[in-house]
Chain A
Amino acid sequence: MRLLNRHPTRPTGILLAALPFVAVLIAYWIGSEIRLAANPQDKLLPAPETIMNTAGRLFTEPNKRTGEILLWADTFASLRRLAFGVGIGALISLTVGVGIGLLPYVRRGLSSFVAVLSMVPPLALLPILFIVFGLGETSKIVLIVIGITPFLIRDLSQRVLDIPHEEIVKAQTLGASTWVIALRVVLPQILPRLIAAIRLSLGAAWLFLIAAEAVAAEVGLGYRIFLVRRYLAMDIILTYVIWITLLAFLIDFALKTLSRRAFPWLGGGL
């Protein structure tokens, strides 16, 4: 049989899926052993059990001065910023995106502007954002919004344009107004697309969140990583990185499930 027609059995499939993870863990473990053999206090590649111990402490031990557990405080602060940033970005892009896709006047007015805007690297605007919005929460959320919204708008407006023209004509012959078409024809088709686009832009949203927290912050996942980087506390950094990855994965999974439940006609997607 040709190789391309051969499928792994279920146990082999699971094994194959686990293989890269195991390989990375083993490579890390070997590297860590080598470095620790040369210098037992090496901070660069701490032993897996050191990371486990640190992680245990980070998740449970309250801070001496404030009494709150730093990791949870950081998580809460970061997720709040992320939720606001992505939420505002989604609302703006839904309104503007449908407008551009559906209404020729809005399209003429905004489509080139958004296209140019999406080319501006958001991180380059950071110093200006600080002066305009201050160093507090606002500028961090605005950075996420500026970072992901142009992409979302461009994607959504294209999706609206992709809706078969026949559907729009049909709705009109049945007497639907522009408003009704937007609400009953476009919106149900565009909402699952919005969720898919948000899932794709979550990586960028995290990036902007962490970049903003690295510049000025008192709390947050990115803040803590950049702070402990000053003394090479790789055990803390690795715990945070794994935690962020897990959070990102869970958010992605939740959005995927939401999309499947709420819009069953679209099938699985992604």
Chain B
Amino acid sequence: MTRTKFLSATALSLGVLAASLSPAMAEQKTDFKLAWSIYAGWMPWGYLDSSGIMDKWAEKYGITVDIVQINDYVESINQYTAGGFDGVSATNMDTLSIPSGGGVDTTALIVGDYSDGNDAIISKKATSIEELKDTKVNLVELSVSHYLLARALDKAGLAEKDLAGVVNTSDADMIAAFATPEVETVVTWNPLVSEILDTNPDANKLFDSSQIPGEILDLMVVNTETLKDNPDFGKAVVGAWYEVMSKMAAGDEEALTAMAEAAGTDLEGYKAQLAATAMFYDPAKAVEQAASAEMPETMTTVANFLFDKGILGVDAPSADFVGVEYPDGSVTGDEANVKFRFDTTYMQMAADGAL
């Protein structure tokens, strides 16, 4: 083999290797993959998979839907953004910043719930948000916790610069962190919130997400093109989801116990977490939330927060750089760059019993 031949062969094989990293292209297909991670409002995804309800609905539409649990929440969204999955469970804020900000056109297929106390600010010394002035706060930076802190400070007439700083702390180490003397205040989510409040008698809850209802939405988002080319995928997933929702609404002990065990708690513990989660058991209620007049306002607040923290990317020219479309067709942000859509078509079908 001459040197040139060898070189071109090497370049070719490397090119093939690189091509295998190419993003998922939308097309007619029959096999789909969804990713989800542990959170009170997302436990039904695990149950959908283990109980066979998902398979039943997928079979009805002649497709397969693989539901994969990912231990790291951010990694699950990154995997979806990279094209490894057709859908992922995520909050409205993380959807806007990661896939939509990264140019992956994404549709909120299911509005599952909103955090109604699941996210909280807990302090050892301070008794009000005002007292956080000039102290340090430990949280997972740039997460929903950070957003909750920003909203709480805003409501109290403060800003993040009035604090002595925020310390990025992994959620895995949050409980241990709260036990160390130098940590005074943490912002985190359930089940960590209840664990910290139960084990620390001196812990005060200063603020929680029930004070900003409907702002932290938990969604199942899917690739817009995949959904457009494969409406059966949307129908099967939504149909299966609301079958489990009706079981949960009816208090099905077997289903709830399975979800509780998967969440690492017992039935009572899981019910307590659900109490701080405003689940939309009824698809009509989810449609109502997605189409509500407050949605554009919420998403604009979220976009401003993301831009302010530089999360929309260093190149993002303004907070309006990603467009968000609502069920009535209206858009906030850049109309030429709509990458996040709230689509109630499939949830409406579920509400009408048309699946």
Contacts and interface: CB of A to CB of B under 8 A. Distances in A.
Contacts of A116: none
A161 B179 CA distance: 45
The size class of the interface chain B forms with chain A is 35 or more
Contact of B182 (A65, A136, A214, A218): A136
Contact of B177 (A34, A65, A130, A233): A130
Nearest to B99: A232
Contacts of B311: 230-231
B18 A227 contact: no
Contacts of B168: 216-218, 223, 226-227
Interface residues of A, number: 42
A243 interface: no
A227 B310 CA distance: 12
Contacts of A26: 11, 14-15
Contacts of A218: 165-168
Main secondary structure of the interface of B (DSSP, over half): mixed
A201 B180 CA distance: 30
A42 B24 CA distance: 12
Contacts of A127: 173, 176
Contacts of B103: 39-43
B179 A131 contact: yes
A261 interface: no
A34 B22 contact: yes
A217 B167 contact: yes
B143 A44 contact: no
Contacts of A45: 21
B167 A135 contact: yes
A40 B23 CA distance: 12
Contacts of B14: 23, 26-27, 30
B81 A43 contact: yes
Contacts of B81: 43-44, 232
A117 interface: no
B75 to A, nearest CB: 9
A65 B25 CA distance: 41
Contacts of B161: 65
A38 B19 CA distance: 12
Nearest to B182: A134
Contacts of A31: 17-19, 21-22
Nearest to B165: A218
A215 B170 contact: yes
A46 to B, nearest CB: 10
A236 interface: yes
A42 B141 CA distance: 23
A231 B75 CA distance: 10
B311 to A, nearest CB: 5
B176 A131 contact: yes
B295 interface: no
Interface of B: 10-11, 14-15, 17-19, 21-23, 25, 74, 78, 81-82, 97-98, 101-104, 138, 141-143, 161, 165-170, 172-173, 176-177, 179-183, 311-315
25 contacts: A27-B14, A28-B18, A30-B19, A31-B19, A34-B18, A34-B21, A34-B22, A38-B22, A41-B102, A42-B103, A44-B81, A44-B102, A130-B177, A135-B183, A215-B173, A216-B170, A216-B173, A218-B167, A223-B168, A229-B78, A230-B141, A230-B311, A231-B142, A231-B312, A233-B314
